[in-house]
Structures are given as structure tokens and as C-alpha cells.
Amino acid sequence: MSENSKEMAGASSFGLRLRFQSPKGMGREELATLVVRMLRSMGEAVDQTGRALIGHIKVFLTVPGGSLKANLVDLDLGPETENDLPGELIESGEIRYMAAVIGLTDEEVEQLMEGSLGSLQHKLKIDVLEHKHEH
């Protein structure tokens, strides 16, 4: 989405690239549950502002030997997930986390997204590798 089309639509977007570590390892279902909680938290935060998603909140999580894709377009329908994470305990990986919203600034979306990381930060060590307002 170009900056001009974002302005014309009154839209905003933000994306994060994160690295995570779980020194003791975490099972695939527990990790997927944390990601779904993060998506729901972000969706609920947007909803509480009275604004709307214009397409998505997305997460792409990659680990050695597998991945997890999760997408939220409607809180009532809930997140859609495709869990291809490996069966063994997961110790580290990378997350790409993106959102597009109508009626908020890029900075407001950034704050909401960073606030939604709580479910992950309680269980995983998180390092922000990159953040940007265009994706």
C-alpha cells in the first residue's frame, strides 16, 4: 500500500519482524495458542478504538522444520490458522506480524501492536529485528 493510497483511504499499517527464544522449548500447540491470543488482543484493541480492520492482522512464524500462519479479518469469526510447526519442542524462530486499519495513525497501530505482544513476552524472549509503517 503506497503512502498516497493509505492517506486517501484514511488507513494505516504497521509491521514487525521479531526473533523469539524459548530456552526450555515450547510445544507447537502452546506456541500456536500464544500467537492466536496475540492476534485476538490486537483485534480487540482495534475494536475498542471504534475503528475497523481493512483487511487483516497477519502473523507468519517460522522455525527450523516448520511454520505457522495466522490471519484475523473479523473478531466474530476468529483467527484462521495453518499450523505446520514441527512436533518436537521449539526453541527459537522468527515472527512477521502485520496489520492494516482504517481511522488510526501508523503510530497508533504501532502502539496497539506492541501492546498485544504481552502474551508472547510472558513466555518467550522477544527481540525486535525491524519495524516499519509500510508493508
77-128 pLDDT per residue, tens? 889 999 999 999 999 999 999 998 888 888 999 999 999 999 899 999 999 9
| Three cell numbers written together for 76 | 466474530
Distance CA 10, CA 23 (A): 42
Number of domains in the chain: 1
C-alpha 107/C-alpha 116 separation (Å) is 14
Cell for 126?
Answer: 522477544
Neighbours of 89 (CB within 10 A): 13
pTM: 0.87
What is the average pLDDT across 8-30? 90
pLDDT value at residue 131: 75
* CATH number of the domain within which 25 lies: 3.30.70.1130
- Domain extent, residue 70, equals 3-132
Give the model's pLDDT for residue 135: 47
Q: What is the pLDDT of residue 104?
A: 87
